[in-house]
Structures are given as C-alpha cells and as structure tokens.
A and B are shown apart, each in its own frame.
Chain A
Amino acid sequence: MTIDVPTTRRALPQLQPVSFIGADGKTTDVPTDGLTVPSDRTLLGLYQKMVEARRFEAQVTHLTRQGRLATYPSAAGQEAIEVGATTALAPNDWLFPTYRDTAALLTRGVPVTEILSAFRGDWHCGFDPHEYHTSPAATPLATQTLHATGFAMAAKLKGEDACTLTFLGDGASSEGDTHEAFNFASVWQTPTVFVLQNNQYAISTPLREQANATMLADRAAGYGMPGLRVDGNDIAAVFAAVTAALERARNGEGPTLIECLTYRMESHTNSDDPTKYRDAEEVEHWKRFDPIDRLETHLRRAGVLDNDTAEEITASAEELATSVRDAMNTDAEVDPSELFAHVYANPRASLAKQRATLEAELAAAVQS
C-alpha cells in the first residue's frame, strides 16, 4: 500500500532559455514556451530605451570616475531585463527595485537627479514612491521581494488592479527573504512577478559557488509557482515573459518566477576590480551576446530601423547624457535640519532638542 499523493500539476521550466532573437540578430528556433513575440514596433520602442539606458550607464560611470558620485553599480549589459521587464508594467503596477536597477527607474520615468541623488549622497531615496509607483531601491539583499509580495497582497485584498514586479540577483536568491517571498506569494497567490537577474556574479562570487542547482528558475516548482528561464539579453523574450506573467497575475493566477540569464559587463560597483575574479576571455564571450547589438541587427534586417531613426535615437540618448552631466555638475542643496524632519510622523521632543543644537551650531558657524 502506498500513500495517496496530490495530483496537482507539477511543471519544471524548459532547460533551454526562451530566446526569440539570437545573438546573431536572427530568429532562433528555441521553443517559445507559449509566449508571444512582440511586434517590431514594440521592439523599436524597446530598442530606443535600451540605447538610452546604455548611454546613461556610460555617463554615470564616467562621472563616478571623476568623483561626482560616491558609488555606482552599473547595469551595463543588463538593459534588456531592466527595460524589457519595466516596460511591460502598467502605470498602476508597482516596481520594487534594488541598487542596480537604475535603468528600470529611468524606464519608469523617475527624473535623473532623483535617481542619482542616492549615489551622490544627497538622500537615500530622492523620489516620491507614490508618484512613480516605485519603491525606494533596497540595498539589504532580497528584502524588497517581501515588500513586493505584501504590496500585491494588499492590492488583491482591496480588489485593486495592481501587480508588483521585483528584481533580485543570483546572489540575493540565496537569502532567506527570497525563499520566504516565493513561499508567501505562492501560498497567498499574490499578483507578483519575481525577475531574477542572473548576471553570473554576486560581487566576486560566481554562480557555481552561489547555488548547486541546474537552474535558479527550477526553484519556483518547490513553491508551487511557475518558473521560467529566459535569455536575459533578448529583450523580446524578457518583455514577452514578463507580459505573460503580469497577465497571469492580473487574472488571479498568482506569482511567477522568471530567471533571466545575463552578464554584468562592468565591475560590481566602481570600487571593485573584476579582473581579480573573472578573465577577459569570459567578458569577451559575453560581449557577443550584447542585447542592443542583436536587436539592432534584427530591426535593421526587418527594415524597421533605418539610419535616420538610428540617428534620432542616438541624439535623444545624447540629450539624456547631457541632462545627467548638467544635473551632476550643480551641487544639490542639502538642508541639515532635514536630518530630523522625516524620522517620525509624530514629532518627538528629544529630536526637537537635537535639531536646536544643530541649528545653534550652524548659526554660530555663520557668525564667526
């Protein structure tokens, strides 16, 4: 006699990452896993945003080298995920990003000064989360995955049409909060999409020392939610996968985990030396999978992108870069008394006292 087992369907993601447009810019013959290829018009829009994001990353990295920003974690090479996933969101949906997801913030419409204020050292989060439906970027790894789950749960309870999308890295996927978020989201069937950016390294730790799993998307099965593995450098695949996951979420079918395979082209932040933990050959290898080059080849071949349009796109990216330089060349005003302004909603006498101390110091400094 054997124990009765539940007959719930168990599905594991397909091994070969879903990819519509290959590294050569040609259509692949990888099974689509039921996803719909975005139209060339959509792809052209995504292309423009990726070019802008790349230019943004380059500009900021440059400014960091000049010492204008304290630190900066570039997402160069990961634009297809950042832009593709974020574009799939509806305005009412909420994004729960991490420190590396500035390209996503850009896509979400957050002004560059507000994006960069944290890295310049003005304030932890420069923007109003309610205005952009975007949570402040989390630095403690994986913590934001739970916020996204809770937010989606609230939306579900209120019957509001809002999904949440959260980014996490391969390193963050080892944190307990990731597992708790996967589990809570699946048990509660929240409208949440987990986008795992597997860029092969957590600072210097390679994937093979991070997890002994065939693929991170497999983890979804253990929590009872669908997992999907996509080519994270193919924006068509990312956009399609996230769009489909959001549709599931909106239909009340619960969360989805999407593992996006990609590579971080720059150092972790400006302060580490990637040559200590990876070789040039590997970086060269991944350059061949560049998300922007391949889409450009595809769009030109399809006749959707011509030289004029390409020039327009370059010009708009340059404009963005100029705005970044201008913003970072003027020093932000910081108001010392704001130190005390946003700690409690209910004012505290002890803080009022400390604020008075600081103000007296400042007044004395002005006089002398």
Chain B
Amino acid sequence: MTVTALTTADDVPAPVSVTMTKALNQALRDSLSEDEDVLVFGEDVGRLGGVFRVTEGLRKEFGPDRVWDSPLAESGIVGTAIGMAMAGMRPVVEMQFDAYAYPAFEQIVSHVAKMRNRTKGHVSLPLTIRIPYAGDIGGVEHHSDSSEAYWTSTPGLTVLTPSNPADAYSLLRESIASEDPVIFMEPKSRYWMKDELSLPVQTAPMDRAQVVREGSDATLLAYGPTVRTALSAAEEGAEHGLSIEVVDLRSLSPFDDETVSASVRKTSRAAIVHEAAQFGGYGAEVAARVTEANFTHLSAPILRITGFDVPYPSPKLEEYFLPTAERILDALESWDWEL
C-alpha cells in the first residue's frame, strides 16, 4: 500500500494501529481545527459520535456550534448544507446509512450537483456528503445498499471511496478542502480494518487510482469494500500460478483512465468487482470506457463480478450475494487463457 508520511522528520510519531473509523475521525478533527468554516452535522453525529463513531468526541472538542445533531431529515440536512456552503461555510454532513440518503436525492442531484453550473460558475458548493455504504455487516433491510451509480451518473458530483485507513484520512481531507461537492462513500464493512500508520498521511491525489498489487496476467479493478476481496483473489490466484494486478479506483468520478489503461495494457485482461447490482451499474461504465480506449490491447472481454440483480438480501443470504474471491477466480476461468 502506498502510504507517504507528510514529513520525514525524526519527530514523526511511530506508526500505530489505526482503524478506518479512527482515520476518518482524525481527518474531521484536523479539518475542523485548521479551518473555522468547516462544520459537521447530521443525525446523531454530536453526542453519540455517529452510529459508526466516526464523529466521536468532535462535539466536545469543537462545541455544538461546529458539530451538532440535526433534526432527522436527510433532505433537510443536505438542503441546509447547500445554503451554508453558499454562505461560505464548508459543511461535512453524514447520511446515516446508504439507503437513507435517498430522501436527499433531489437536493443532491438537482442542486448540489448543479449549483455551480446553474450559476455560470458564480457559486461553488464546497460540501462533503459522507455516506456509509455497502454490506457484509449483517445489516437488516436498507442498511447495505451500494448507491454509487446514482451519484456517478450525475455530472457535477465527485464520488470518492477509500478502501483503507490511510486513504480514508487523505481522501476525506482533500474532499473537505475541495471547491467541488463530494459524495464520500465509506465502506461499512471496512470501518474496523486496521493499518499501521502515523497520521496525518497524504496518499495519492484524490483523482488518482492506485495499483495496490502488481501482476502481469490480469487486472482486477475494485474499490471500497471489494479491494480487500480482490486482493484475496489475487493471493489465491498466485497459488495457482496466476499473477493478478489489483487496482483500487478510489475515485469513481472522475475516473482515472490513465492508471487503469496502463494496467490493462500491461496485463491485457481486466475484470471489475463491485457489490452493487450489475445491470446498468458502475461496472458497465468502466467496462465500456476501458474497452473503448484499449480494445486492441485486450485479449479477452472485460468481466464484471458483482452483486446479483436483486435487492440487497437479508443477513443470512448475504454470503450468497456478495462477490467473493472464489467467485472472482471462477469468473476469470471463463477467459480463454490460450489466446
């Protein structure tokens, strides 16, 4: 994993074990302390520190005028954040769970995404909307959706998703600093993932994908929760003599054509892995644009290993729904490797 410490001075604290939740928390804390215009609000983000504890301790540290519990209304949260951003603030709001961002859909696609364009560039909305998303945590109905395709097909939005604690810190810091509104998707199942690192860290810029494992036979394109799955597939593949490269997209919109194309041209085979349903999904976009740019370099069709085209299932059926390392490797077998 490419993690660059901000400084290399001797006083840099020794790496400690950091969860993604802790990294996000620290990113919010650092942004709040550096810039008085940064505000954090949403459902239960104050006293409780968020249902996933991402905002833990912030209300106490920065006071209820900077970090507070809002009324329970998602459209209200995003709509008022728009007004605050218009007034020069940098709000960071939390949608408690993926499917509970839907009441705010109108505000997000009609105003957050379009304000800059509607006003000929006169009004910027430096606003970050954090959405814990995806499954594999045994959540009941409406707690495990992967809604990225809705956001990525909306011009005007930047859509980011970290897959590890270092990126979580760095990408969130960049989102808050960005003049463009960002949909920041946090993979719930990776909240408790730990890495040895010292904060603050600055990883690759937010619009860049990252090669997280080198390989020469095939490229797996993954993001958020499926990066870890893709990495285990690569490890298992290695046992069978397959050299699999794994690319963590990090930024779903904009899409880093350069990094992805370079990898695909090297390996000549690619598959995209995501939890969201397949039909009309984000993987279709990736497959299409990677093919358009690299057709003659491909020796096999681009595959999609995704959730099935069914509503997200209840906890006991999750394991049959989610893409696994085995399913990925099985899919790769469908390629005619003799070609």
Contact = CB atoms under 8 A, between A and B. Distances in A.
Interface of A: 94, 96, 123-126, 128-130, 135-136, 138, 140, 143, 145-155, 157-158, 162, 164, 176-177, 180-181, 183-184, 187, 338, 341-346, 348-350
A125 B117 CA distance: 9
Contacts of A154: 83-84, 86-89
A158 B82 CA distance: 16
B253 to A, nearest CB: 9
Nearest to A117: B120
Contacts of A184: 70-71, 73, 76, 80
26 contacts: A94-B87, A125-B118, A125-B119, A129-B119, A130-B123, A140-B110, A146-B80, A149-B79, A150-B87, A151-B87, A157-B39, A157-B89, A176-B75, A181-B76, A181-B80, A342-B117, A342-B120, A343-B116, A343-B117, A343-B155, A344-B156, A345-B178, A345-B179, A346-B180, A348-B254, A350-B255
Contact of A124 (B79, B118, B124): B118
The 10 A-B pairs with the shortest beta carbon distances in the complex, nearest first, are A150-B83, A146-B79, A150-B80, A180-B76, A154-B87, A345-B179, A151-B83, A342-B121, A147-B83, A154-B84
B116 A149 contact: no
Interface in B72-130: 73, 75-76, 78-89, 91, 103, 106-107, 110-111, 114-124
A146 B75 contact: yes
Nearest to A131: B122
* A150, A153, A184, A343 interface centre (most CB from chain B within 10 Å): A150
Contact of A143 (B79, B81, B84, B91): B79
Contacts of B70: 184
Contacts of A343: 116-117, 155-156
* A151, A152, A154 interface centre (most CB from chain B within 10 Å): A154
Q: How large is the interface on B (under 10, 10 to 19, 20 to 34, 35 or more residues)?
A: 35 or more
B86 A129 contact: yes
A176 to B, nearest CB: 6
Contacts of B79: 143, 145-147, 149-150, 177, 180-181
B112 to A, nearest CB: 11
A348 to B, nearest CB: 5
A150 B119 contact: no
B65 interface: yes
* B70, B120, B254 interface centre (most CB from chain A within 10 Å): B120
Interface of A is mostly: helix
Contacts of B86: 129, 135, 147, 150-151, 154
B158 A344 contact: yes
B106 A140 contact: yes
B89 to A, nearest CB: 5
B181 to A, nearest CB: 10
B87 to A, nearest CB: 4
Given A136-B115, A138-B111, A345-B180, 15 more contacts: A123-B120, A143-B79, A143-B110, A146-B82, A150-B80, A150-B85, A154-B83, A157-B89, A176-B103, A180-B76, A187-B71, A341-B121, A344-B156, A345-B124, A348-B254
Contact of B73 (A130, A183, A348): A183
Contacts of B124: 345
B217 interface: no
A346 B83 contact: no
B155 to A, nearest CB: 6
Contact of B71 (A138, A176, A180): A180
A232 B118 CA distance: 31
A220 B24 CA distance: 39
Contacts of A145: 79
* B39, B65, B85, B121 interface centre (most CB from chain A within 10 Å): B121
A96 B83 CA distance: 10
B257 interface: yes
Contact of B116 (A151, A152, A338, A342): A342
